[in-house]
Amino acid sequence: DAGVTQSPTHLIKTRGQQVTLRCSPKSGHDTVSWYQQALGQGPQFIFQYYEEEERQRGNFPDRFSGHQFPNYSSELNVNALLLGDSALYLCASSLIGRGGSGANVLTFGAGSRLTVL
């Protein structure tokens, strides 16, 4: 059973460029959340997608946008890259509507490491 897969694994961009990161959720999951993890820090919530709509959003500027496709996969787009956007971007999937303790269980991918020069 494949877990959460993310691509690319690593990428390097320059300031001002745009980047797209991709995520395939764990089989059977329908919700995708994106987190930004700066070096030496805990992950920070960017946004969550369910039924192809952004449902919740953290404290990130509009330069960060996303999309969810009918097959539940998702993309994270970041425009006008800044040096401070350098981080590990984590995708996490879950199954919404699952009762009990399972409702809160996020399965994380290994992340996409973005370096902005």
Chain contacts with another protein (rule: CB under 8 A): 4, 31, 33, 35, 40-45, 48, 56, 58, 90, 92, 94, 101, 103-106, 108-111
Supply the minimum distance, in Å, between the C-beta of residue 100 and another protein: 11
Closest CB to another protein among 40 and 70? 40
Q: Which amino acid is at 76?
A: L
CA separation for the pair 23, 46 (Å, rounded): 14
Rg (CA), the chain: 14
Supply the minimum distance, in Å, between the C-beta of residue 16 and another protein: 29
Closest CB to another protein among 47 and 81? 47
Supply the minimum distance, in Å, between the C-beta of residue 104 and another protein: 4
